[in-house]
Amino acid sequence: MYVPHARLITRFRENSEVDIFSRITEINHWIGEENKKDIIFGDIAAGSSKNAKKCLFGPSCWANVGYNKRIQFVSLDKNGCIRPGIIQHELLHTIGFNHEQNRSDRDDYVTIIYKNIVKGAEYNFVKMDTNNLGTMYDYSSVMHYGRYAFSKDRRSVTIIPKPNSRIYIGQRYGMSHLDALKVNKLYNCKICGGLYRHEAGKFTSPNFPNLYPNNARCTWIFKTSHDRKRVFIQFTKFQVEEFINCYSDRVIIHDGDDALAPVLEGPTCGGENPAVISTRKSLFVQFYSAQSWQAYGFSAKYEFGNIVFKL
Residues 170, 196 share a domain: no
- Give whole-number Cα distances, 166 to 55, 139, 161, 169, in Å: 35, 11, 7, 9
- Give whole-number Cα distances, 230 to 49, 305, 311, in Å: 53, 5, 19
Domain span at residue 169 reads 97-189
pLDDT at residue number 70: 72
Catalytic residue among 90, 100, 242, 272: 90
Q: CA-to-CA distance for 31 and 133, rounded, in angstroms?
A: 16
Where the chain has pLDDT below 50, the residues are: 1-14, 36-40, 42-49
Residue 101 within any structural domain of the chain: yes
Residues 132, 80 share a domain: no
The 10s digit of each residue's pLDDT in 33-47 is: 555 444 445 443 344
Residue 261 within any structural domain of the chain: yes
Q: Which of 97, 9, 22, 13 is nearest to 53 (CA)?
A: 9
**Burial of 80 by CB count in 10 Å (0-12 exposed, 13-18 middle, 19+ buried)?**
exposed
CATH number at residue 281: 2.60.120.290
Q: Which of 111, 133, 114 is nearest to 188 (CA)?
A: 133
Single pTM value for the model: 0.66
Q: CB neighbours of 28 closer than 8 A, spacing ≥ 6?
A: 36, 40, 41, 42
Residue 74 within any structural domain of the chain: yes
Residues 224, 180 share a domain: no
Residues 175, 254 share a domain: no
99 assigned binding-site residue = yes
Q: Which of 107, 101, 104 is nearest to 142 (CA)?
A: 101
pLDDT at residue number 10: 41
Residues 195, 174 share a domain: no
Terminal-residue alpha carbon distance, the chain: 57
pLDDT at residue number 309: 53
89 assigned binding-site residue = yes
Residues 243, 179 share a domain: no
Residue 3 within any structural domain of the chain: no
pLDDT at residue number 271: 93
Instruction: Identify the domain boundary among 189, 208, 223.
Output: 189
226 assigned binding-site residue = no
Residues 215, 296 share a domain: yes
CATH number at residue 175: 3.40.390.10
The 10s digit of each residue's pLDDT in 281-304 is: 999 999 999 988 889 999 999 999
Residue 183 within any structural domain of the chain: yes
- Give whole-number Cα distances, 191 to 185, 194, 261, in Å: 8, 7, 22
Q: Which of 111, 124, 125 is nearest to 160 (CA)?
A: 111
From edge to edge, which strands make up the β-sheet containing 275-277? 201-204, 297-306, 229-239, 275-277
100 belongs to the catalytic site: no
Q: CB neighbours of 50 closer than 8 A, spacing ≥ 6?
A: none
Instruction: Identify the domain boundary among 37, 65, 95.
Output: 95
Residues 169, 216 share a domain: no
Instruction: Identify the domain boundary among 171, 189, 207.
Output: 189
pLDDT at residue number 9: 39
Residues 290, 218 share a domain: yes
Domain count, the chain: 3
